[in-house]
Amino acid sequence: MEVVRSDLDQFFAYSTHRQIEIRDSKLGLTYIILQVLLMSYIVFYVFLYEEAYFKREHAPGTIVTHVRGDTAAVSSGKPGTRYFSAGEIAYPGLQNGHLFITTRMRVENQSRGLCHDLTMPCETDADCSVHVGGTCTDSFFCYEPSWCQVDEKPEIYEVESSDLQIWTKSSIQFISLAPEKVFSTEDNHAYPELGYNAFTVRDLLMRCEPAPVRFEEISELGAAIEVQFMWECDVGDYDCRPEVHVRRVDTVFDPDNIGFSFSHAEYISENQRMLNQVSGVRIYMHTLGTGRKVHIQEIIFQFSINMSIMVLAEVVADLMLKVMAARKRYLARKYVISPDFGDYRKKAEELQSAASVIPQKLSKAEKDAQDQERAWLRQLDEAT
């Protein structure tokens, strides 16, 4: 029974570290200061400043926009006056949340005929549409069947759309943290309010980062801006408001061709149309955000991860042991130096071979002794 108990004690034995107390005030004070600094970093920076006790979720949101406002403009080319409704200013309708606001419109009355096609630059007749008899002229444009300008001057309208109001409805949901809760700019604001969920075109341009953009600067060539509704929500609260960040992006995409413009035609008949060349502000709107919630698992995870840096205090203290004046005495207490076992196998083989030679030597000595004894007995018999 004692043998079985001894084997169990050996099998389930517990191993622990042996600690050596180095009685040195400088070393001990350095170790304690490092521990305090590292623990302060974990508590004050990681948990209080970085708020590592929160579990976070990044999520995209949705956004819907409505445009309100109208204006009238006088042509600076062919005489004319035109009224622009909100639908005409924001034409064409784009995907949800994205808008185009007209700032300048050039209208040409065109009909089919033979004329210089300004969309077909050329150097030789081969650059033109040969199958319809196109030729390259001295103006380096093809003369061929095309849409030709009827009036001498086009109608050019500078659309004053800077005060056009854009009502935004932004919402976001954090599925993993609070699937039952939706944060929206419509909460307690079911109506447009300037500066909160409604913005003018001029206001959005002036919010551009890093430098504001004036409406008058981009009214001729247009511009492209990105508007982000950034939500930072504690899902335990009921109230959360987004921050609006705006930046100009057309100068980033193509610095040599800034602005935003396009053309679309309104067909009156098979041989007549109105070509609208439009410049304006292209607005890309996005909703995204981060939700947070106090979570016990996140606290345990962050604490266990950051506690690993506490070993740095021991590393620094061990390095100091190697440069102190009494380092040899300290190291002699700290380390146990084992014998060199590198030649152990070779020495064991030598001892084993030496042990095998001894019986051979003993058997030879015994044989010599027996031969001497037999020779002595023969001599004794012969003498008697």
User: Per-domain residue ranges for the chain?
Assistant: 20-53+295-334, 57-113+156-293
* Joined tokens for residue 243: 């921050």
With residue 71 as reference, give the H or E element that holds it: strand 71-74
176-195 pLDDT, tens digit per residue, is 898 889 999 988 888 888 88
pTM above 0.85, yes or no: no
User: pLDDT grade, residue 356 (50/70/90)?
Assistant: low
Burial readout 32-68 (b: 16 or more C-beta within 10 A, e: otherwise): eebeeebeeebeeebbeeeebbbbbbebebebebebe
The alpha carbon of residue 244 and the mean position of all alpha carbons in its chain are separated, in whole angstroms, by 20
User: pLDDT grade, residue 381 (50/70/90)?
Assistant: low
Strand segments (E) across 38-193: 54-60, 62-68, 71-74, 81-84, 99-121, 135-136, 141-149, 155-158, 165-173, 182-184
Alpha-carbon Rg for the chain, nearest whole angstrom, is 46
- Per DSSP, the chain holds a count of helices (H) and strands (E) of 10, 16
Does residue 261 surpass a pLDDT of 60? yes
Q: Are 286 and 226 in contact (CB under 8 A)?
A: yes
In this structure, whether the domain defined by 57-113+156-293 belongs to CATH 2.60.120.430 is answered with no
CA distance 211 to 74: 31
- With vertex at residue 232, the alpha carbon angle to CA 230 and CA 233, rounded to the nearest 5 degrees, is 135
CA distance 59 to 62: 10
With residue 355 as reference, give the H or E element that holds it: helix 344-383
pLDDT at 374: 73
